[in-house]
Amino acid sequence: MKFDPAEEIDNEKAHAIIREIVTGGEFIVSNHAKARMMERGYSTHDVAHILIRGKITSKEFKDNTNNWAYDKRR
């Protein structure tokens, strides 16, 4: 699924894109995310589950990266 990260999309479409990325085997955990996961006691499986099944709780445009960031929670 192609998309422009600088374009705002509704939560339903964002969730579909996130689910496709995670279930399609393109899920890469950054070093920053690994450090936060260790702090919180989360495994990669936990994070994948939250990304697939969680709810989007907020979104904001990040000027420094020119893209939208979506927060998901259990």
What pLDDT, in 10s, does the model give residues 2-18? 778 888 999 999 999 99
- Residue 41, CA distances (Å) to 4, 9, 17, 44, 49 in order: 33, 31, 26, 10, 14
pLDDT average, residue stretch 31-57: 95
Residue at 3 is within a domain: no
Please state the domain count of the chain: 1
Residue at 45 is within a domain: yes
Question: Which domain range does residue 27 map to?
Answer: 11-73
Strand stretches in 1-74, DSSP E? 55-62, 67-73
Residue at 39 is within a domain: yes
Q: What is the pLDDT of residue 27?
A: 82
